[in-house]
Amino acid sequence: MKSRFYDNGLQFECTGCGECCKYSDAVVYVTDEEISSIARYLTSPEEDFVLNYITAFRGKLVLKSKVDACIFLEDDRCIVYSARPKQCRTFPFWPDILKSRVRWSQVSESCEGMDQGKQYTAEEIREILNESKTVNGLDQTN
Ligand code: SF4
Ligand code: SF4
């Protein structure tokens, strides 16, 4: 197997600071199952939920956003954290971020959870990375 900079593992523990949820040019992709799951979490009828929170981007379903943040970020907190989409759950173990130590370090400048807290083994990282690769459209996000 090709050696990677994370072969000895990486540290990451989300502090919930909300920085990665503040964006104006990114998108969060969602599946039908995730839409149902978040709607249930918010005890919202699914039809209303879709009208209020979902839109399309390049033919794919994504969360709506406010001017400069995800629509679910309130007071710097994700209000659907337990039901957040796979794209959010797999951050920062995304293909684009794991492509090099340099890229990891660049992203860590805006994410205080990277390089601190929980230690992930290379195997655990690969599992999450593979999961992130199933997010429809994630490669176009970054
Ligand atoms: S920027 Fe990092 S620490 Fe902050 S909420 Fe996002 S993943 Fe968590
Ligand atoms: S769903 Fe939650 S974790 Fe994901 S971008 Fe929106 S506020 Fe952040």
pLDDT in tens, 35-77: 999 999 999 999 999 999 999 999 999 999 998 999 999 999 9
Task: Name 78's bridge partners.
Answer: 73
Band of residue 137 on the pLDDT scale cut at 50, 70, 90 = low
Ligand 1 pocket, residues with Cβ under 6 angstroms: 14-20, 91, 111-113
Q: What is the pTM of this model?
A: 0.92
Q: How far apart are CA 91 and CA 55, in angstroms?
A: 22
What's the average model confidence in pLDDT over 74-98? 96
Ligand 2 pocket, residues with Cβ under 6 angstroms: 21, 28, 70, 72-73, 78, 80, 84, 88
Omega before 92 cis (within 30°)?
Answer: yes
Q: How far apart are CA 12 and CA 14, in angstroms?
A: 7
What spacing in Å lies between the alpha carbon of 1 and ligand 1's midpoint? Answer: 30
Q: What does the radius of gyration of the chain's CA atoms come to, in whole angstroms?
A: 15
Q: How far apart are CA 70 and CA 53, in angstroms?
A: 10
Could you read off the pLDDT of 92-130 as tens digits, one per residue? Answer: 999 999 999 999 999 999 999 999 999 999 999 999 999
What spacing in Å lies between the alpha carbon of 12 and ligand 1's midpoint? Answer: 9
